[in-house]
Amino acid sequence: MKRFRQHLLICGGTGCHAAGSADVRTALQNEIKKQGLADEVAVVETGCNGFCAMGPVAVVYPGGTFYVSLTIDDVPELVQEHFLKGRPVERLMYKEPASKDIIPDMKDIPFFAHQQLIALRNRGLLDAESIDEYIARDGYRALAKALTEMSPQDIVNEVKKSGLRGRGGGGFPTGLKWEFCQRTPGEIKYVLCNADEGDPGAFMDRSILEADPHSVIEGMTIAAKAIGAHHGFVYCRAEYPLAIERLKLAIEKATEYGLLGDNILDTGFSFNLQIYQGAGAFVCGEETALMRSIEGKRGMPRPRPPFPAVKGLYDKPTVLNNVETWANVAPIIIKGGDWYASIGTAGSKGTKVFALTGHVNNIGLVEVPMGTSLRTIIYDIGGGMPKKHRKFKAVQLGGPSGGCVPEQYLDLPCDYEEIIKAGAIMGSGGMIVMDDSTCMVDMARFFMEFVQDESCGKCTPCREGTRRMLQILEKICEGRGEMSDLDLLEELAAMIKDSALCGLGQTGPNPVLSTLRYFRDEYVAHIVDKKCPARTCVNLIEFRVDEALCKKCGQCFKACPVGAISWEKKQPAKIDLTKCIKCKTCIENCKFDAIV
């Protein structure tokens, strides 16, 4: 095997791809060749590193020097300085947003330093298209152990001992789910992977499949042995072409290597895996709808019981787990359930991947032990609020099924139980940080619109009830709300939660309920004062400069795209309403909240 003096690992995940990483990689390869370094420096494309907002990112080993926001124009300098002369290029390194200090090593960057990687253990470290690199990092060792040294019950016991709970939203104990299925008699059983990932803002499953597809295949094959299944499907939304391409290649390679397919590792055990592409409906992530979709029918939920472990795909006993759940299985088998259970809190073991986004400096994927506080995630890892004049307001957890958690819960340890107590849910790990420029009524309206759009229409409470709730929220945002609407919202929410058939309807009112619980005064301000305190709802903004607040800085004047603002030095700004198109750019640019 060829040995190189240095490896430059450039991220090829979707975020970096969108930022031009493929062109940067080609330019790096060409420049390395041009400088006569092709036999000394290897350029490897990896999956997502988690720090997507800084893309394209690259890390150089040995050493771990981390480069961010690379462009093709940076390439000649990078290659000549770092690889030819041994002088790392400071201007391309990460700068701490507040202090502007340069942090050269990846491991010292706060975004990475506070994380503990289990599901994302291989991120940024291997070429997702190379099974050899996965194997070199202990890949398929857990499968070999499960097939040759463990009985199906041993496997189930180890996963039960680990305390692993499903990462797709429900948090159901994984080992218990496998045991139910194992104990259900049946010649034909199935193992499925839920890669539908419908929560707005969540992208951990896509990232795992793009960066480390073999970890999912290995976990699924171990479960297949545990329950006695010989066939499986990965249900992945068609909007994830790179994930599908890499998974397809990984399945082919694993089959070629005798790690998947017939007679795996010569043990006599067979497991075949197929990909099924979904059309991207949120409801198809619900387990019974997902199975109907694979069967070629319209993806609609059905009542449970019977649960899939008894009657699942094609009415056969089936285990369905989420991508991140699957990625945790191999380390549990190798290191043991006790090791995994030693991480996290009493009821929530191991780590959780969060998709950190919104008003935070370091947007990206974060894997931390269960029980890590919101403050650590948002401030230490996320780097806090990007706009100095803005204050933290709330964090939305769990997507459309979740809720928002206000400032007083910043020290909340993130685990399943504690998040529920605060009125949200862990969900799949979506974490949207919001500063005080966010209107909580509008936020609730946004999620209700999503739920309404995605309702499959099968049951009346969800189909009609969410429509009514959305109409009321729209009315309030437009300044036509009445106080009695708040009671009506709560009444409708309780009715939908109680009587909807599936989780979409049962949890859909949560964002409204949590904002009513913590930010009722904002609803009242919209209804009684006809004001949107965050100045988001256009109908409730006057688009007038409050001269008492105006600091005469002229920022709004410079930012207005249609020249509707007049301003002169040492004079307050003025808005000409006949020209104003209500785009809110001036509001975003005024640090003194002087536009009301």
β partners of residue 575: 565
Among 501, 512, 516, 537, binds ligand SF4 (CB under 6 A): 501
Q: 175 touches which of ligand FMN, ligand FES, ligand SF4, none (CB within 5 to 8 A by kind)?
A: none
Question: Across 370-491, where does the E strand assignment appear?
Answer: 392-397, 403-406, 430-435
Give the residue with the Cβ less far from ligand FMN, 306 or 479.
306
Tokens of 317: 């006993």
Q: Do residues 333 and 155 make contact, with C-beta atoms less than 8 angstroms apart?
A: yes
Is the peptide bond between 62 and the residue preceding it cis, with omega within 30 degrees of 0? yes
Asked if residue 448 binds ligand SF4 (CB under 6 A), the reply is no
Structure tokens at 278: 């979904």
Backbone angles phi, psi at 408, to 5 degrees: -65, -10
Residue 365 has φ and ψ, to the nearest 5°, of: -95, 135
Q: Least distance from C-beta 407 to ligand FMN, angstroms?
A: 29
Q: Is the backbone of residue 115 left (phi > 0), alpha (psi -120 to 50) or beta?
A: beta
Q: Taking each helix axis from N to C terminus, what angle separates 213-227 and 141-148, rounded to the nearest 10 degrees? A: 10
* CA proximity to 392, closest of 417, 415, 360: 360
Instruction: Pick out residues in 544-583 that bind ligand SF4 (CB under 6 A).
Output: 545, 550-556, 559-560, 562, 564-565, 567, 572-573, 575, 580-583
Instruction: Mark residues 537-576: x for contact with ligand FMN by CB under 6 A, - for none.
Output: ----------------------------------------
- 505 touching ligand SF4, by CB under 6 A: yes
Dihedral sign for Cα atoms in the order 253, 259, 260, 264: positive
Cα–Cα distances (Å) from 413 to 193, 366, 426, 547, 589, in that order, read: 29, 15, 11, 44, 35
Residue 280 near ligand SF4 by CB under 6 A: no
Contact between 347 and 415 under an 8 Å Cβ cutoff? The reply is yes
Report the DSSP pairing between strands 231-237 and 272-278.
Answer: parallel
CA nearest 61: which of 39, 81, 83?
Answer: 83
Among 198, 299, 403, 465, binds ligand FMN (CB under 6 A): 198
From the list ligand SF4, ligand FMN, ligand FES, none, which binds 198 (C-beta under 5 to 8 Å, kind-based)? ligand FMN
What residue 321 binds from ligand FMN, ligand FES, ligand SF4, none (CB within 5 to 8 A, per partner kind)?
ligand FMN
* In the complex, minimum distance from the CB of residue 198 to ligand FMN, in angstroms, rounded to a whole number: 4
Which tokens hold the place of 43? 């350029």
Number of residues lying near ligand FMN (CB under 6 A): 23
Which of ligand SF4, ligand FES, ligand FMN, none lies near 320, with the C-beta cut-off 5 to 8 A by kind? Answer: ligand FMN
Q: Give the binding site for ligand FES (CB under 6 A).
A: 11, 13-16, 48-52, 55, 57
Site string for ligand FMN, 274-303 (x = CB under 6 A): --------xx-xxx----------------
**Whole-angstrom distance, CA of residue 275 vs CA of residue 231:** 11
- C-beta of 20 vs 503, nearer to ligand FMN: 503
Q: Which residue has the tokens 């701490």?
A: 96
CA 92-98-104 angle, to 5 degrees, is: 30
519 touches which of ligand SF4, ligand FES, ligand FMN, none (CB within 5 to 8 A by kind)? none
- Is there a contact between 563 and 572 (Cβ–Cβ < 8 Å)? no
Q: How far is the CB of 213 from ligand FES (least distance, A)?
A: 15
- In this structure, the dihedral spanned by the alpha carbons of residues 258, 261, 263 and 265, taken in order and rounded to 10 degrees, is 30
Q: Which residue's C-beta sits nearest to ligand SF4?
A: 505
What is the Cα–Cα distance from 366 to 87, expressed in whole angstroms? 30
Closest C-alpha among 67, 50, 49 to residue 58? 67
Residues 487-526, interacting with ligand FMN (CB under 6 A)? 502-504
By CB under 6 A, the residues from 126 to 185 that bind ligand FMN are 166-170, 172
CB nearer to ligand FMN: pick between 130 and 506: 506
Residue 29 interface partner, choices ligand FES, ligand FMN, ligand SF4, none, CB cut-off 5-8 Å depending on type: none
Closest by CA position to 482, among listed 528, 429, 416: 528
Q: CB-wise, 236 or 564, nearer to ligand FMN?
A: 236
Q: Which does 55 bind (CB under 5 to 8 A by kind): ligand SF4, ligand FES, ligand FMN, none?
A: ligand FES
Q: Which does 287 bind (CB under 5 to 8 A by kind): ligand FMN, ligand SF4, ligand FES, none?
A: ligand FMN
User: Rule CB under 6 A: is residue 291 a binding residue for ligand SF4?
Assistant: no
Q: Which of 196, 210, 367, 435 binds ligand FMN (CB under 6 A)?
A: 196
Which residue ranges make up the site for ligand FMN (CB under 6 A)?
Answer: 166-170, 172, 194, 196-198, 282-283, 285-287, 320-322, 325, 428, 502-504
